[in-house]
A and B are shown apart, each in its own frame.
Chain A
């Protein structure tokens, strides 16, 4: 465990970057430091590996002050990933990744074998091993940065806005990849970002810092969204925190109905039976049960369904795996106001109305409050 104990960083000109900050960073989980620029989040991170020395207070790693061991030994025991990757442009990808093992005295062959193994782990094609950084895309460079940090298998990983310089699509991929790698390796990760969405997606615990280096709130992301400590945190979370909070509620409890669902080959009787359910639209599926689109019952003729004339089914959600946020999103996007639920294979398992999703949200909130009371 990393314990940040009442740490202050004051610069000679009097600026206070971090102000009496105390945090307990649990092992084997991702702790995110988030806040606007000038909130001291990077300074805090850099105090953990002593790239910045605190003016007051101490940082304890498994109970021992980080100042007790030689600085370079400490740093080699912590992986570090930086914005723009910070790769050594004059070394090949393989040699970049092998940097810390080489510093630790591994022989070249073993360090390179380890580097090759890590390239695979972070999803890099082995054909890139002999390339130089300029030949890689930003996303690939960042993967190399992560591999390089993991090379000596350090228990701690410090990540300083690692994904903020890549485009949103690549960023999402890198975030998912980090979560996957973390699932396999279980490192103690301290992650700095200014992006609250990234913090909520990645963090087991999220520390929100305010300008001047003071802790505003330290909580798991769901709690942050449901109970922001003060107006600053609430404002920082943004206008749609209610919607985003739905990400933490499962869609498993949604009551689906499959009555208004027919397949393209449905007979006149089947269409009539589905229409009898009383819903304004029917969902048409293909022969494998995948959603094709919505249609008013009167527009459907048995044996002559034209898929091109159907209304888009919107974005289906997978019940149980996706959250209520995805279900609500599906219902809002759907032209009919009904969301389509599918199973793991993409087959329609039922449909649900906006009203029913709303009901589930109210129920989830009520349950959450009860839990909070019990926990309190």
Chain B
């Protein structure tokens, strides 16, 4: 067991150091992807004809193998973290753009018409109505993008050991220490699960307005109860969600 966390010195990082590195290399691209996807999605909502070609383009980009991406990028960004993160950010668009477009489009026509009729201009409509209502869909997209990004970072091992926890796989091979490979896979999986759980929690915090249980009877029961929902109430569906 002590060999499990005894990492070869060529990694230049402790186990925790690798985790921090891994999270940075995985999450920054998702964040960048989100920042890029928001305006792209808004353009797709505004100009409907734009959506199919954008969707096609993100899919084609996603189909490019990361190795091919690295080969192109290395000329510009060298053997750095950035070379790993750029493809990951591009890949995240294939999930995030449709998630945001669907989320924004899910705002009922009546709600939008009411917002317009009350004198909310386009910017207020977007920030105060469309975006908040799209939050569940956006977070659903972020969950997929985040988990896939966390698993994909490992490929960075191929360009000068920029794969964070993925580098353990290489070392396992060179030093004939299979426990390092097990460490890499388990740690990556646990990180993915924790990140996913954090996003579910974030969604629950951001959307107290969502029906927690589906179906009408629940709604009636909610309406009949005089007190407002307590934190304990929120915890139960969180567990239910996690169980799914």
- Out of B113, B121, B132, B228, name the residue touching A72 (CB < 8 Å): B121
Report if A209 contacts B (CB, 8 A): no
Whether the pair A49, B208 counts as a contact (CB closer than 8 A) is no
Closest approach, in angstroms, between the C-beta of A334 and any C-beta of chain B? 39
Closest approach, in angstroms, between the C-beta of A140 and any C-beta of chain B? 8
Closest approach, in angstroms, between the C-beta of A47 and any C-beta of chain B? 12
Report if B129 contacts A (CB, 8 A): yes
- Out of B116, B124, B207, B223, name the residue touching A135 (CB < 8 Å): B223
Whether the pair A91, B209 counts as a contact (CB closer than 8 A) is yes
Q: Report A-chain residues with C-beta under 8 Å of the C-beta of B108.
A: 84, 86
Closest approach, in angstroms, between the C-beta of B122 and any C-beta of chain A? 10
Closest approach, in angstroms, between the C-beta of A331 and any C-beta of chain B? 41
Whether the pair B110, A84 counts as a contact (CB closer than 8 A) is yes
> How many residues of chain B get a CB closer than 8 Å to chain A's CBs?
28
Closest approach, in angstroms, between the C-beta of B123 and any C-beta of chain A? 11
Report if A373 contacts B (CB, 8 A): no
Q: How far is the CA of A99 from the CA of B135 in the complex (A)?
A: 20
Q: Report A-chain residues with C-beta under 8 Å of the C-beta of B116.
A: 51, 75
Please, what's the 1-or-0 string for A152-163, where 1 marks a CB less than 8 Å from any CB in chain B?
000000100000
- B53-69 residues with Cβ-Cβ distance < 8 A to A are none
Q: Report B-chain residues with C-beta under 8 Å of the C-beta of A127.
A: 226
Closest approach, in angstroms, between the C-beta of A57 and any C-beta of chain B? 21
Whether the pair A89, B111 counts as a contact (CB closer than 8 A) is yes
Report if A76 contacts B (CB, 8 A): yes
Where chain B touches its partner, the secondary structure class is helix
Please, what's the 1-or-0 string for B115-136, where 1 marks a CB less than 8 Å from any CB in chain A?
1111111001000010011010
Whether the pair B223, A100 counts as a contact (CB closer than 8 A) is no
Report if A136 contacts B (CB, 8 A): yes
Report if A103 contacts B (CB, 8 A): yes
Report if A82 contacts B (CB, 8 A): yes
Q: How far is the CA of A362 from the CA of B121 in the complex (A)?
A: 57
Q: Report B-chain residues with C-beta under 8 Å of the C-beta of A136.
A: 223
Please, what's the 1-or-0 string for B89-112, where 1 marks a CB less than 8 Å from any CB in chain A?
000000000000000000010111
- Out of B111, B121, B207, name the residue touching A87 (CB < 8 Å): B111
Whether the pair A76, B110 counts as a contact (CB closer than 8 A) is no
Whether the pair A103, B226 counts as a contact (CB closer than 8 A) is no
Please, what's the 1-or-0 string for A51-88, where 1 marks a CB less than 8 Å from any CB in chain B?
10000000000000000000111111010101111111
Report if B236 contacts A (CB, 8 A): no
Given contacts A82-B114, A127-B226, contact A135 B120 (CB under 8 A): no
Whether the pair B219, A80 counts as a contact (CB closer than 8 A) is no
Question: How many A residues touch the partner, as a band?
Answer: 35 or more
Report if B242 contacts A (CB, 8 A): no
Given contacts A88-B111, A90-B133, contact A131 B223 (CB under 8 A): yes
Report if B179 contacts A (CB, 8 A): no
Q: Report B-chain residues with C-beta under 8 Å of the C-beta of A87.
A: 111, 114
Given contacts A91-B209, A132-B208, contact A86 B114 (CB under 8 A): yes
Given contacts A89-B133, A100-B119, contact A134 B219 (CB under 8 A): yes
Closest approach, in angstroms, between the C-beta of B103 and any C-beta of chain A? 12
Question: Which single residue of chain B is at the shortest CB-CB distance from A151?
Answer: B118
Closest approach, in angstroms, between the C-beta of B72 and any C-beta of chain A? 42
Whether the pair A90, B121 counts as a contact (CB closer than 8 A) is no
Report if A130 contacts B (CB, 8 A): yes
Q: Report B-chain residues with C-beta under 8 Å of the C-beta of A88.
A: 111, 114-115, 129, 133
Q: Report A-chain residues with C-beta under 8 Å of the C-beta of B207.
A: 90
Whether the pair A99, B111 counts as a contact (CB closer than 8 A) is no
Q: Report B-chain residues with C-beta under 8 Å of the C-beta of A73.
A: 119
Given contacts A83-B110, A135-B223, A136-B223, contact A89 B117 (CB under 8 A): no
Q: Report B-chain residues with C-beta under 8 Å of the C-beta of A78.
A: 117
Most B C-beta atoms less than 10 A away, residue of A84, A85, A88, A99: A88
Q: How far is the CA of A90 from the CA of B210 in the complex (A)?
A: 8
Q: How far is the CA of A49 from the CA of B129 in the complex (A)?
A: 20
Report if B171 contacts A (CB, 8 A): no
Report if B160 contacts A (CB, 8 A): no
* A interface, CB within 8 angstroms of B: 49, 51, 71-76, 78, 80, 82-92, 99-100, 103, 127, 130-137, 145, 148, 158
Known pairs A85-B114, A99-B118, A137-B223 / 10 extra A-B pairs, C-beta < 8 Å? A49-B117, A73-B119, A82-B113, A85-B110, A86-B114, A88-B115, A88-B129, A89-B133, A134-B219, A135-B223
* B interface, CB within 8 angstroms of A: 108, 110-121, 124, 129, 132-133, 135, 207-211, 219, 222-223, 226, 228
10 A-B residue pairs with Cβ-Cβ distance under 8 Å, sorted by A, are A75-B116, A78-B117, A86-B113, A88-B115, A88-B133, A90-B129, A103-B118, A127-B226, A131-B222, A158-B117
